[in-house]
Amino acid sequence: MKYSITAAIIGLSVALVSNLFSSDALAKSTIADDKFRQLEEVLPTPTIYRTASGAPGHKYWQQQVNYEINIKIDDKTQQLTGYETLNYQNNSPDTLRYIWLQLDQNKLKRNSDSKLSTAAKALKKVTYKSVRKMIETDKFDGGYHITKVTARNGKPLQFTINDTMLRIDLAKPLKSGDDVEFNVAWNYQLHEQKVLGGRSGYEYFKEDDNYLYEVASWFPRAVAYYDVTGWQNKQFLGRGEFALEFGDYDVKITVPSDHIVAATGVLQNPKKVLTKTQRKRYEQAKTAKKPLHIVTAEEALANEKSRATTSKTWHFKAENVRDFAFASSRKFIWDAQGYQHGDNFTMAMSFYPNEGNPMWEQYSTEAIIHTMEQYSKYTFAYPYPVSISVNGPVGGMEYPMITFNGPRPTLNKKTGEKTYSRKTKYFLIGVIIHEVGHNYFPMIVNSDERQWTWMDEGLNTFLQYVAEQAWEDDYPSRRGDAANITAYMKSSNQVPIMTNSESILQFGNNAYGKPATALNILRETVMGRELFDFAFKEYAQRWKFKRPTPADFFRTMEDASAVDLDWFFRGWFYTTDHVDIGLGNIHLYTVDSQNPDTEESWLRALENEKPTFISDILNKGNWIRTHDKPELLDFYNEHDQFTATNAARNKYNANMKKLQPWQKELLLNQSNFYLIDFNNIGGLVMPIILDITYADGSIEHMKLPAEIWRQNSKKASKLLIRDKEITAITIDKNWETADVNVNNNYWPARPIKSRFNLYKRKKEDMMRDYNKKLKVEKDKTKQQDKEGTEQQNTDS
């Protein structure tokens, strides 16, 4: 449709003109739904501990807890027995009368809150593995046996266990600035991870009768006590991982003497636990250009057959970590490569059984170094002396300096051939990047995992995407690409990202995929790389070795970029709205010259553009009276209604005399005033990315900031003044905003392409099936093979 505007309007200011233009679009504006309302009323009030700019405040404090631990693993019974001394430094301004410890193993007790509060889901199609897990979980009565809690002087301390939490009542109140020491003795039964799942456990290898241990959440750990929650007293139900304090660890691990141990921290007694050859290789690996074997595949195979009757104690120390994990087995191959980065030196190391090769020796250590190199660019230099990737039963899980990663190739038991799928290859590289990346979030930027999953998983998955894209061309990242999140974004069974870990629906999409994609969009589309990278790095730098909350992240991102992002965080993190911006009407205005000769012909042309009414078409050629009697024709048959009169011309000439030269010039303006209407169907306000094609074939790219929606979040219009004619318009050409419906993004519209899938209907015939000859089973191993190689995919 074309309209003509009068000179009176043109005489007004440009700002007003655009308002008048869009009066149509604004007609049904809803004011209540203010997407740009600031978040201050939602975010916690800033304190002396956390500033309004998102930084640690001038009185920021956190506790320090140091551990001395002695433990032993019994390879015959898979029992772990331990004794620890905790030194609790109270840096808070508060006096503490008791101290809470996390007993995460108690989740596996028969009547744990976790087991009792697991709501059943309707079952129809279930894997063998998950039914076995259900049955065995129900049966398994794991958890800690706390055998002793004593004060420094050896006197017993009162303690109370509440499900996964242990309260120790101190002999005297612990004042601000003081520290207290106490001891805990315990034991528990390790579980078979492949059966019960979880983030730790052992794997049993039937073929060679060996165990591989991945041990985590294995000692009573001091719960986080901080300015926002006090004691983080949420029970461990299974998802919200943990919230702990930084501290120094001195850990002695006793295992069979033919085991190789990988652990958080630096080995203190290599002479006692490693052979001379192993120590020499370790030294060589420090400056090697590629991973060197400290234990080779052949040596690991030979090791598998030994059965030590003696034990060895591996001694590790780790500084400034929030947890400690380790792995132990006689099956381990061990490779390592030193990584010098600036003043920091890190030994990248991988531990894996022969079952992991050939993938593990090719990818693992390389992926560790790649992760540190990439993540450091966007955060801070990796500060720890070692970074480890272990292959075992756990699909993917992170601890300080050490990660557990599951993918393995497939073994053809008949031929001995090992192959792997494309999915397994990228899952292995991706999961190592992801888990090693967790050293940054949340192992160093120590967010409260028991409360928020997105603060570590979302931020980490975002950087995982960035690091993956730096691995090889077109790396098939599972999460991060905006188009990959659209199916989730329009799904109905959703909660906002800002939901406690345990209550999240569609866990992987909510806590990993959506925040990672949101950050990617923030970086690429909303803020630009320069502003985003600076602000994101600022957040990492501010909060490394400290404990941030969501508000600290939101505030820092704005504080360091001078971009108001409240609308973005409000929409993406506090609602389940999605992006669906569509094109509405496109209006073309030109200036009314007021010259009757010009204007009447313009009106005539417009009239001629209108379609001919059906009767007029059918009447064409019919007899009409004036054919026979032309004398009936007169002035009005010669001059149509679009005829300029002298009266009009006189009026025009008189008017022109009253106008200033610049006003006259405007009346001659030949520009096209395009008014483009946009509809926000999804609810999320986002920048509108436009590609405009002109009649001469040229394309103009422009981005309208999200603030275009600030007065009406449902409809917006944009005025484009162009000499050229527009022939096509596209919104979000590169699919960068996660627009869930791109079919309304094109003018002219495009067909929606799809395929019919043809299939044959199988005729049901019970008699035929009954009469079929019964096959005698020949090969029993076939089905077992298939189950044994089932791809695991733990989200951790």
Interaction site with Zn ion (CB under 5 A): 457
Closest CB to Zn ion among residues 357, 500: 500
Distance CA(606)–CA(33), nearest Å, equals 40
Pick from 437, 444, 449, 425: nearest CA to 389 = 437
Q: How far is the CB of 325 from Zn ion (least distance, A)?
A: 14
Beta-bridged to residue 386, according to DSSP, are 347
Closest CB to Zn ion among residues 83, 488: 488
Q: How far is the CB of 326 from Zn ion (least distance, A)?
A: 19
Q: How far is the CB of 384 from Zn ion (least distance, A)?
A: 18
Closest CB to Zn ion among residues 397, 676: 397
Q: How far is the CB of 431 from Zn ion (least distance, A)?
A: 9
Closest CB to Zn ion among residues 457, 502: 457
SS in 3 state form for 471-521?
CCCCCCCCCCCHHHHHHHHCCCCCCCCCCCHHHCCCHHHHHHHHHHHHHHH
Closest CB to Zn ion among residues 430, 550: 430
SS3 of 115, please?
helix
Closest CB to Zn ion among residues 91, 794: 794
Q: How far is the CB of 483 from Zn ion (least distance, A)?
A: 22
Q: How far is the CB of 361 from Zn ion (least distance, A)?
A: 24
- Inter-residue contact 513 to 484 (CB < 8 Å): yes
- Please, what's the largest Cα pairwise distance for the chain? 129
Pick from 141, 143, 163, 127: nearest CA to 80 = 143
Angle of the 550-559 helix axis to the 566-574 helix axis, nearest 10 = 150
Cα 133 to chain center, whole Å? 28
Residue 205 DSSP class: E
Distance CA(688)–CA(730), nearest Å, equals 10
Beta-bridged to residue 590, according to DSSP, are 4
Q: How far is the CB of 143 from Zn ion (least distance, A)?
A: 25
Residue nearest to Zn ion (CB): 457
Q: How far is the CB of 456 from Zn ion (least distance, A)?
A: 7
Distance CA(745)–CA(732), nearest Å, equals 7
Q: How far is the CB of 339 from Zn ion (least distance, A)?
A: 22
Q: How far is the CB of 479 from Zn ion (least distance, A)?
A: 11
Distance CA(486)–CA(696), nearest Å, equals 35
Closest CB to Zn ion among residues 316, 512: 512
- Inter-residue contact 421 to 407 (CB < 8 Å): no
Closest CB to Zn ion among residues 201, 513: 513
Beta-carbon contacts of residue 594 (< 8 Å; ≥ 6 apart): 6, 7, 652, 655, 656, 667
Closest CB to Zn ion among residues 299, 457: 457
Closest CB to Zn ion among residues 457, 566: 457
Q: How far is the CB of 460 from Zn ion (least distance, A)?
A: 6
Q: How far is the CB of 249 from Zn ion (least distance, A)?
A: 22
SS in 3 state form for 592-648?
CCCCHHHHHHHHHHHHHHCCCCHHHHHHCCCCCHHHHCHHHCCHHHHCCCCCCCHHH
Distance CA(376)–CA(437), nearest Å, equals 10
The string of DSSP codes covering 147-184 is EEEEETTS-B-EEEEETTEEEEEEEEEE-TT-EEEEEE
In 39-194, DSSP assigns E strands to 64-74, 79-89, 96-102, 145-151, 158-162, 165-174, 179-189
- Six-digit token string for 326: 């380790």
Closest CB to Zn ion among residues 361, 468: 468
- Six-digit token string for 370: 């790649």
Own/partner pairs, 300-303, CB within 8 angstroms, 24+ separation: 300/330, 300/331, 300/332, 300/333, 300/353, 300/354, 301/354, 303/258, 303/260, 303/330, 303/331, 303/332
Closest CB to Zn ion among residues 457, 552: 457
- Inter-residue contact 715 to 679 (CB < 8 Å): yes
Q: How far is the CB of 434 from Zn ion (least distance, A)?
A: 5
To 5 degrees, how large is the angle CA 119–CA 125–CA 129?
75
Q: How far is the CB of 796 from Zn ion (least distance, A)?
A: 5
Burial (0-12, 13-18, 19+ Cβ within 10 Å), 154: exposed
How many angstroms separate the Cα of 298 from the Cα of each of 279, 333, 770?
Answer: 18, 9, 54
- Six-digit token string for 359: 């993938």
Q: How far is the CB of 703 from Zn ion (least distance, A)?
A: 32
- Inter-residue contact 350 to 389 (CB < 8 Å): yes
Q: How far is the CB of 457 from Zn ion (least distance, A)?
A: 5
- Inter-residue contact 680 to 581 (CB < 8 Å): yes
Distance CA(794)–CA(198), nearest Å, equals 9
Closest CB to Zn ion among residues 459, 708: 459
Closest CB to Zn ion among residues 250, 457: 457
